[in-house]
Amino acid sequence: MIQACFIGALFNAAGWGLPPIIGPTLELLSNAALPMGLMAVGSGLKLSSIKAASAPAAVSCGLKLLLLPLVTFGLGTMLGLEGYALIVPVIFAGLPTSSTSYVVSRQMGSDAELMAAIVTASHLATIFSMPVLLSLIH
């Protein structure tokens, strides 16, 4: 993954495009990445693991969905950001945990069940946290 990012950065810096056949093919694959990641999380999720992981998931969601946007808002305000220049980073800071973290967790041999529970909990909690966050910053 790191090598692919490095190669992509080189292509971007050099101004090269992808060959005509490879570019559209990779675009189709990239469009399927998010749904496939969410399906992987769903298939790795066990209902019993959600209950067992309630404390770590609550801590993770609290830090990711509450503390991080507040810190981002505070730093943005200290830097003099206003309007969209402040709202955009706060919204990005308040997004749920990426489903990619489950895939990486599984590939690295760590606790994939816990990560699936955290990803699911953060997506569910964002349903409630994002409207509150938006109402506070707008």
Average pLDDT over every residue of 6-20: 85
pTM: 0.69
Inside any domain, residue 64? yes
Inside any domain, residue 2? no
Average pLDDT over every residue of 112-130: 88
9 CA to centre of own chain? 21
Q: pLDDT value at position 99?
A: 82
Taking the C-alpha atoms of residue 24 and residue 41, their distance in angstroms, rounded to an integer, is 27
Taking the C-alpha atoms of residue 73 and residue 90, their distance in angstroms, rounded to an integer, is 6
Q: Residue 95 belongs to what domain range?
A: 35-137
pLDDT tops 80 at residue 118 = yes
Inside any domain, residue 13? no
pLDDT tops 90 at residue 43 = no
Total domains, the chain: 1
Q: pLDDT value at position 66?
A: 92
Q: pLDDT value at position 44?
A: 73
Inside any domain, residue 16? no
Inside any domain, residue 8? no
pLDDT tops 80 at residue 49 = no
CB-CB contact of 77 with 86 (8 Å): yes
Q: Write down the mean pLDDT value for the chain.
A: 86
Q: Which of 131, 127, 71, 65 is nearest to 97 (CA)?
A: 65
pLDDT per residue as tens digits for the range 68-114: 999 999 999 999 999 999 999 999 999 998 888 888 888 888 888 88
From residue 83, alpha-carbon distances to 7, 36, 73, 138 in Å are 35, 35, 11, 8
Percentage with pLDDT > 70 across the chain: 99
